[in-house]
Structure 1
Amino acid sequence: MEAFFQENRDSYIKQVATFQPSQDQAQCAGCESGEEDTSIGVRVRPLLPNEIEDSEVVGISVRPEAGYADVHELRRKINGQPTLNSSSFRLDKVYGPDRTSEDVYHGLVAPLVPWAWGGGISTLFAYGQTGSGKTYSVSELERLAAAELMNGNLEGNRDVYICAFELVGKEAFDLLNDRRKIVVMEDAFGESQLVGAVEEKPSTAEELLSHIERSMSFRKTAPTSKNDRSSRSHAVCRIRIANKDVIDAPDGQLFLVDLAGSEVDRDIKEHSRDRMMETRDINVSLSTLKDCIRGRAMWNMTDGVAANKRAMNVHVPFRSSVLTKVLKHVFDVKGDRYCKTTVLACVKPNAADAGPSKNTLRYAELLRVPVPKIKPASYNVNIPSTWSHHALMEWIERNSGSPTISSSLLAPTENGTQLCKLPKGEFVSRCLKTPNVSPEHARAFYDKLWRLHIDSRTARSATPSEVSSAIASEDKASPKPNVPFQERLQPGMIVRVKRRLRTDFVQHAMILCPEGAFEKDAVNREEMMGKKRYVCAQIFGAVMADAYNLAMEAKKVIAAEDMEAEVSMEWDAPTRYWFMTI
């Protein structure tokens, strides 16, 4: 420690012990909540044994109930005794030195796992000064996440895959393949792909952890004045979760990102030119990451509110660094998947590191996007984000087709916004709990809700008379005919083929005409038509999820008894595909 602090050590300890927060800070606990899909937490590690031997002093205090971390600095004065300068930072979760990794996991990280298991995208970022215990925290959280993923307590059948890579400057290296170089590219659909990366398929939590530990052994490290093995790269562990129950559902993804340790001026005074460039690249990528997290959080808050012009002005610069480009789908506001993001800021407790600790906490505090105090939007039948839980349940009962999907099983507690954010795999799995609901029916209902949600983003608000007419038109919708399905068969009808006749590609067909309808011999024509066999055009799955191609040239004769049910489809001119409707 420097001589100035040593001379005033006792005075510093006494002033910290008598520190009192401002009245506003003491009374505002719980008065403001952050954006629900982005959580920011801080963990202050305890003093290490060697730091205690060196008589290091704790310079950070925490107030978990109020959500504050306080950093205390001793300031020189030209005349008089040195004074205490305290800075307070507001976060979503605050964990002091006495809290365990299990506490951090259950309080901050645990919601990420079931979200990814259900088909969503979850991301954990760990950030902090070198030597702040960041890599230790990430390792412990990875262990707990692996156990929850593989212990069999989560509902549904899934396949779990893992890949691990590190980002150094503008380059990427595969940590599961002897640190071989890989390339980050965007495919034809605008998705970021890791070309050349190896993906393993573990079957147990131990096997999953062994892959993570093996990958970390290849990570780039270097000694610094604060840490003998400081991480000099961003390490990304991606766990991909494939839904075996809902084949067409997008894969869930869980990203565990251990960011490179940040450094201040005194940490880099002995760095070489290459190390200085490396530090600059790290700091630039961290700055870009901050802009992307805040931008996406602001978009989520204003999404679907056409009157709020801020939603149209949000810019998320995810292409500005390799780190955010790899995680494009986490930040891309044009994507159709909601993401849950958690940032854990790791801080050293030492009074000597008060300056770097303030920078870490200031960065973390900037990531919080407080929910603005705006008047809730009034109910609009065409805008799902305005639906209460009761209005959502009524909409489900009226619009989920036949058989009617149980609203209590699909949305037991959610409102309209929360149901739209639900991952597709989880949405479909809930629908399938209703008896006699097919996967096609469930996916079509999901698409119907999302089309309404997407349209509502740019649609103008409806007047009360328009709302009334819309509700009336829904109530007057023509009911399903009571005539048995096989007695209603006619040209143009799309039907689902029974399972025993299906192939990997053909499950549906469009009726063109009865077999023998164009026979010249009237006797043979009547005889063949009496057998109720129909010439049908086959319908094949397209490249896009839940999209179909009608192949008029691929004809097949199908008996009425082999047709399972009528299916409603509509033609989408922009994509030139057919999509199921309800």
Structure 2
Amino acid sequence: MATSATLTTTYLSTFRTILDEWNQNRLKISPTKGFRVPLVELKQSPPSKDALKDVIVAFRTRPSLPNEAADKFHADPDAKDAPVDEDGQLPAVEFCSGITVTSAEPGVFVAHVPGMKWSGPTLTHKPYEADLAFGPDIDNEEVYQRTVVTNDILSLALSGGVGCILAYGQTGSGKTYTMESVEHRIARDLFDQARVVGKRLLLAQGGDVPAGAESGDIFEFNVTFLELLGKHASDLLESTEEVDAQGNPVRTEIAVREDKVGNVRPNLISSTLRTSAELEELINKALSHRRTSATLRNATSSRSHAMLTISIKNTLLPYADEGQLILVDLAGSERYEDSKDHDKQRMEEARDNNKSLMNLKECVRAKAKMAAEDGFVHIPWRSNKLTMLLKPIFDIESRQPSKALIIAHVSPHIQDSVHSTNTLSYAAPFKTVPPKPRGPAPYDAEDPRTWDHAKTVEWLTTQFTKRALKTRQVDWNVKAKAAKLAGKTLKPLEAPAPGQLDLGVDILKICPEGYTAKNLGTLYTPQFVQRCLEARSGEALTMDTLKNAAVDMIGNLFYLIITAKSRKRNEIMKSRKKIAVEAYGEAPPRTTTEYDEEEFLEAQIFYGTDWQKIIIAAHKKYKEEGGDWWNEGYPKTTDAMMDKFRVHKAAVEAEKAAAAEEADE
């Protein structure tokens, strides 16, 4: 049975003797292994096979601080058979290592867990494996070089990929110290690296170079800094003077949710930066706003997850995917014995933090499993706000290359060995083999996410052509009625010659070269409307008409994307083992009549925003009257709207037929 910190401190001299004997025997059998490549030769060495992995795991332990052991840990003077000195006093509390690094690469930490048996104190030695292991003598620069630089995290983000670095561990184990050093070193190197990559792209492209890009400054950097405290997210860049009872700033809560097409983009302050100094200043400002509180292990423990996100846009290739660097300093994990004396609010925060960390564990393990298997692997990233914010690295449908680096931190003290084993047990399973390569998604005519530029232009042209023809027909119908009242007959409306129909917009301004439906699907509705208004040409469409057309069109695109996602998920689920559902009955019918999908979509376009308004009003009425909405209300409401649409559609077709007959006569 593992001992408490107090009991471990009481028998510290005995544990130190056992540990010294174990270490001597270990060194006789196998000396400690260092890193494969010395630090000075690291940049010239070829990438290792670990650089190809989706998930890289590193362990780190810090050195003990002066007088830290004596200040933090205290022996029990009343303990039975406690070792005492010649004066009958308990010996002074001095540092005793609870972690031994037996191999730096591949990394192996051995945790020394104290225990008590009937025969006296015992020590269990538990090994844990990772890709890298950093002992207390390794400084921050070497950690940065062997993790971020060796694995090309910066180049990945500058190339349109997603690089994520997470610092995890017990409170007081050095997470924030490591993450802040990584953040400042990324600020130091990112812009220089961007200029190198930019010049390389300019040379490869040749031809005309955009103004101001000769130096390689072709990237635009936007930075956000979010704090997640329990279930509540806030913006660390928001300025506020209001504070709570603990003296921490009170900020507006930020909603964390998916938008129409599944993107998670909290409404945060986004700062556009151009230099290392600006990024350094922003990091320092945000970190000064972060919430901290005293715990039994750390006087300034970070009580929240802090997420720095750097979005990188390539202005030379403006329609390529934006790269991202996501740097997360996770809140310190706590065991019950370290948080039992906290107030109710702090206890809830600790529970929420631990829940989010456990969900993160499940997501990372599922991602690691997905890299090694061919079948479907469910990643439960929607289960928690933390993992929702990390969707770019967990979304199985994303085709952006991604890489996650987890640095697990443990305390060096033997009194914290139980915490250390929890941390190492949490992080060790993330270690995986290199993933199997995934090519681009195959073309699917019904899935806008797979369309190229030509297909997207074709779809937009078809949408605007349908509307132009409809408007042309309506105008002719009005003129035909006026002519009939005057005793005249108009010539039948002839189909326009190819290329002669005025669409009212320049399609290539809406979807320039290199742009695809996938890019359009990431736009908010106002952004798409603005893009269409800027592409307006001539007087064929009024501003209001074009606005309504743009709203309907982006709605249709969202519908196609969502339908494609659902269809593919359903295909995957159908291929898995089916569960008998007879006992649960069948789902209630959505409508009493089966409608063709195209006709249903045409009806929604016909009604526009009134479609949802009618459904909402009917739902409210059924709720007030206590009716069965799904079995009665929804089918009746939908059927009524579809009947009205069909009447309208039939009238239009009748008018066309009548016009055609008059023309024949």
Same topology, TM > 0.5 = yes
**Is 1:451 paired with 2:442?**
yes
Q: Which residue of structure 1 lines up, in the alignment, with residue 17 of structure 2?
A: 11
The answer (yes or no) to whether the contact 2:114–2:123 under 8 Å persists in 1 is yes
Q: Superposition pairs for residues 319-358 of structure 1, below 5 Å?
A: 319-358=382-421
Structural RMSD (CA): 3.8
Give the Å deviation of 1:280: 0.8
Aligned partner of 1:42 among 55, 59, 64: 59
Q: Which residue of structure 1 lines up, in the alignment, with residue 258 of structure 2?
A: 186
Give the Å deviation of 1:256: 0.4
Structure 2: how far apart are the matches of 1:227 and 1:554? 64
- From the superposition, tell whether residues 263 and 153 of structure 1 become closer, same or farther in structure 2 (CA, over 3 Å): same
Aligned partner of 1:129 among 163, 167, 170: 170
Aligned partner of 1:90 among 125, 129, 135: 129
- From the superposition, tell whether residues 24 and 37 of structure 1 become closer, same or farther in structure 2 (CA, over 3 Å): farther
Structure 2: how far apart are the matches of 1:239 and 1:35? 22
Query: Greater helix percent: which structure?
Result: 2
Structure 1: how far apart are the matches of 2:114 and 2:356? 32
- From the superposition, tell whether residues 7 and 547 of structure 1 become closer, same or farther in structure 2 (CA, over 3 Å): closer
With 69-78 and 338-347 compared, the bigger mean Cα shift is at 69-78
- Amino acid paired to 2:424: L
Q: Which structure's CA Rg is the greater one?
A: 2
Give the Å deviation of 1:198: 0.5
Give the Å deviation of 1:166: 0.5
Q: Which residue of structure 1 lines up, in the alignment, with residue 316 of structure 2?
A: 245
Q: Which residue of structure 1 lines up, in the alignment, with residue 346 of structure 2?
A: 275
- From the superposition, tell whether residues 555 and 207 of structure 1 become closer, same or farther in structure 2 (CA, over 3 Å): closer
The answer (yes or no) to whether the contact 2:105–2:131 under 8 Å persists in 1 is no
Identical residues among aligned pairs (%): 32
Q: Which residue of structure 2 lines up, in the alignment, with residue 255 of structure 1?
A: 326
Structure 2: how far apart are the matches of 1:191 and 1:86? 45
- From the superposition, tell whether residues 205 and 13 of structure 1 become closer, same or farther in structure 2 (CA, over 3 Å): same
Give the Å deviation of 1:213: 1.2
Give the Å deviation of 1:333: 0.9
**Is 1:107 paired with 2:146?**
yes
The answer (yes or no) to whether the contact 1:127–1:261 under 8 Å persists in 2 is yes
**Is 1:362 paired with 2:404?**
no
Aligned partner of 1:64 among 92, 95, 104: 104
- From the superposition, tell whether residues 143 and 61 of structure 1 become closer, same or farther in structure 2 (CA, over 3 Å): same
**Is 1:167 paired with 2:158?**
no
Q: Secondary structure at the match of 1:193?
A: coil
Structure 2: how far apart are the matches of 1:14 and 1:37? 38
Matched residue count: 405
Q: Which residue of structure 2 lines up, in the alignment, with residue 73 of structure 1?
A: 113
Q: Deviations over 1:179-205 (max 9, x none)?
A: 43221121122100112x101112211
- From the superposition, tell whether residues 546 and 190 of structure 1 become closer, same or farther in structure 2 (CA, over 3 Å): closer
Structure 2: how far apart are the matches of 1:129 and 1:68? 19
Give the Å deviation of 1:208: 0.3
Structure 1: how far apart are the matches of 2:49 and 2:17? 35
Structure 2: how far apart are the matches of 1:288 and 1:9? 35
Which segments of 5 or more consecutive residues in structure 2 lack a partner in the other structure?
1-5, 37-47, 71-92, 199-217, 240-250, 447-453, 466-498, 522-527, 540-556, 562-665
Q: Which residue of structure 1 lines up, in the alignment, with residue 579 of structure 2?
A: none
Which segments of 5 or more consecutive residues in structure 1 lack a partner in the other structure?
306-310, 373-384, 386-416, 421-448, 456-492, 497-504, 511-533, 557-571, 577-582
- Amino acid paired to 2:379: V
Give the Å deviation of 1:352: 0.8
Give the Å deviation of 1:451: 2.4
Query: Greater strand percent: which structure?
Result: 1
Give the Å deviation of 1:25: 12
Q: Which residue of structure 2 lines up, in the alignment, with residue 154 of structure 1?
A: 196
Structure 1: how far apart are the matches of 2:316 and 2:69? 54
Q: Which residue of structure 1 lines up, in the alignment, with residue 307 of structure 2?
A: 236
The answer (yes or no) to whether the contact 1:34–1:92 under 8 Å persists in 2 is no
- Amino acid paired to 2:225: A
- From the superposition, tell whether residues 88 and 21 of structure 1 become closer, same or farther in structure 2 (CA, over 3 Å): farther
Give the Å deviation of 1:15: 2.6
Give the Å deviation of 1:50: 2.4
Structure 2: how far apart are the matches of 1:261 and 1:175? 18
- From the superposition, tell whether residues 237 and 22 of structure 1 become closer, same or farther in structure 2 (CA, over 3 Å): farther
Q: Deviations over 1:556-578 (max 9, x none)?
A: 9xxxxxxxxxxxxxxx9x959xx
- From the superposition, tell whether residues 19 and 237 of structure 1 become closer, same or farther in structure 2 (CA, over 3 Å): farther
Q: Superposition pairs for residues 433-444 of structure 1, below 5 Å?
A: none
Structure 2: how far apart are the matches of 1:40 and 1:51? 28
Structure 2: how far apart are the matches of 1:19 and 1:240? 51
Q: TM-score, normalised by structure 2?
A: 0.55
The answer (yes or no) to whether the contact 2:163–2:325 under 8 Å persists in 1 is yes
Give the Å deviation of 1:546: 6.3
- From the superposition, tell whether residues 24 and 301 of structure 1 become closer, same or farther in structure 2 (CA, over 3 Å): farther
Structure 2: how far apart are the matches of 1:287 and 1:149? 32
